Amino acid sequence: MSVEILMPALSPTMEEGTLAKWLVKEGDRVEAGDVIAEIETDKATMEVEAVDEGILGKILVPEGSEGVKVNSPIAILLEEGESAGDVNKSAADKGHSIHQQDQDKKEEVAVTSMGVNEPIFTPASDPDLPENVEMEEMTVRQALNEAMAEEMRLDDDVFIMGEEVAQYQGAYKVTQGLLDEFGERRVIDTPITEHGFAGIGVGAAFAGLKPIVEFMTFNFAMQAIDQIVNSAAKQLYMSGGQINVPIVFRGPNGPAARVAAQHSQDFSSWYAHVPGLIVIAPYSAADAKGLLKAAIRSPNPVVFLENELLYGVEFEVPKIDDFILPIGKARIAREGKDVTIISYSMGMKYATEATEKLVAAGVDVELIDLRTLRPLDMESVINSVKKTGRAVIVEEGWPKCSVGSEVSAQIMEKAFDYLDAPVMRVAGKDVPMPYAENLEKLALPSTEEVIEAVNIVSYRS
């Protein structure tokens, strides 16, 4: 049977090309792999190889022809004993039908994909605490440490690796005591090679282990961001649901004190941008404990953003076994009806201080701690804004394309008619972090700025 040789697509973008040169003539015998023609594409001159063996019966497109469409027949290859005349016409017809089919298929895709809606995320609620539950004062550092120790006791697949996590007891002492309890098989000091050990962690998670990868700070995770984004976040999707990556990347994030530009930066919005990741940024010790335990149990890759300056701050933590919180649920830190302040991580410090002063001045503030940045609990935010009609978002990160930008955009989309004033953002200033004490203070958001923003959206003076 004769075979049509079609104009090949030789690059992802090629739709037509020039048939520059025939290297064989009618009647020539060709073997699979023989170069039979040269084609100029949108990128380069390429060689066309014969796929089947046979005799070149007829050249349908002469050399020098421009604008030859991909997939149109350019020659006919005959088997032994066939003649060219029999097949000329049918070949041309077939070429047309292939194009037609192709076009139909494309239209079908365009139409069906229009009707697909993003699934709506519904977070679980916080667990009900027993009546008269005892609370204990605990630093964020202790809370994180307990969360890891508890999960490591429960599951041998959980281990921690990072710089100085074992013998040194943690650069910020978050892993203190873990080496003594769990030994060097499960508490592993790495060399200073973020890219490498992040990749090793992700590979171990491919195989079903549940690594906790500690970055001494998230500034250094920039060395490893390819493994976080390209390997961890996309793996489940790229594998059609076959391989999940149950890993936690954790460590201090956000501005620290007087360490200047390269060690003082909030990466929240960077990670919150990436589908496939879970991003958590707690403020209180209770949230740090309950959410880190949830992160370690999560079947998904989690970026867990802590804050160095909060490590030593004490909060109340419920004294119950296995205290775990739902990922993706915001916490209403204070209920109110006049204005909504939304924040997370260290931003909550400014937001809380501002709330106290505003309440004292008679403004009934509703304060929301997002806790999880992806998925974002917009339901809680929207319900609040519908009540108050005013919103201020507070964060330490840079203002451009920030978490605040996203929350603000969604409020505009989902609660526009409820707004009594434009949404305002209070953020870090749009500069690298300066070293000088006064400049550093200016670069960070402040309680005063939050109060000022609330006054503006409330039309108070």
Partner 1 sequence: MAKKAVKKIPAKNSAKNRARKTQSANSNEPRFSKEEELYAYREMLLIRRFEEKAGQMYGMGLIGGFCHLYIGQEAVVTGVHMASKEGDQSITSYRDHGHMLVVGIDPKAVMAELTGRRDGLSKGKGGSMHMFSKEKYFYGGNGIVGAQVSLGTGLAFANKYRGTDDVALVYFGDGAANQGQVYESFNMAKLWDLPVVYIIENNRYAMGTSLERGSAQTELYRRGESFGIKGEQVDGMDVRFVKDAAARAIEHARSGKGPYILEMMTYRYRGHSMSDPAKYRSREEVTTMRAERDPIEQVKRRILANKLANEDELKQIEKEVRAIVVEAADFATKSELPDASELYTDVVLSEL
What residues between 371 and 390 interact with partner 1 by CB under 8 A? Answer: none
Q: How far apart, in Å, are the Cα atoms of 451 and each of 363, 407, 420?
A: 10, 19, 17
Note whether 230 binds partner 1 by CB under 8 A: yes
Cβ pair 392, 366 in contact under 8 A: no
Q: Binding residue for partner 1 (CB under 8 A) from 16, 49, 353, 452? A: 49
Beta-bridge mates of residue 250: 214, 304
- Taking alpha carbons only, the member of 387, 345, 350, 347 closest to residue 366 is 387
Q: Please confirm, yes or no, whether 263 is among the known catalytic residues.
A: yes
Return the structure tokens found at 164.
């100085």
Q: Binding residue for partner 1 (CB under 8 A) from 19, 138, 204, 358? A: 204
How many residues bind partner 1, per CB under 8 A?
76
Cβ pair 49, 33 in contact under 8 A: yes
Q: CB of 249: closest distance to partner 1 in angstroms?
A: 14
Interaction mask 158-177, partner 1, x per CB under 8 A: -x------------------
User: Which residues have C-beta within 8 Å of that of residue 305, sequence separation ≥ 6?
Assistant: 218, 250, 253, 254, 267, 268, 271, 279, 280, 281, 345, 373
- Grouping H, G, I as helix, E, B as strand and the rest as coil, residue 210 is strand
Note whether 201 binds partner 1 by CB under 8 A: yes
Q: CB of 301: closest distance to partner 1 in angstroms?
A: 9
Note whether 2 binds partner 1 by CB under 8 A: no
What residues between 387 and 446 interact with partner 1 by CB under 8 A? Answer: none
Return the structure tokens found at 214.
């500690």
Of the residues 4, 151, 163, 263, only one is catalytic, namely 263
Q: CB of 38: closest distance to partner 1 in angstroms?
A: 9
Window contacting partner 1 (CB under 8 A); options: 134-142, 193-201, 331-339, 396-404: 193-201
Window contacting partner 1 (CB under 8 A); options: 79-87, 242-250, 309-317, 420-428: 242-250
- Taking alpha carbons only, the member of 14, 109, 22 closest to residue 58 is 22
- Taking alpha carbons only, the member of 334, 348, 344 closest to residue 404 is 344
What residues between 98 and 157 interact with partner 1 by CB under 8 A? Answer: 102, 105, 108-109, 112-113, 115-116, 118-119, 124
Q: Please confirm, yes or no, whether 194 is among the known catalytic residues.
A: yes
For the annotated catalytic residues, the residue numbers are 194, 263
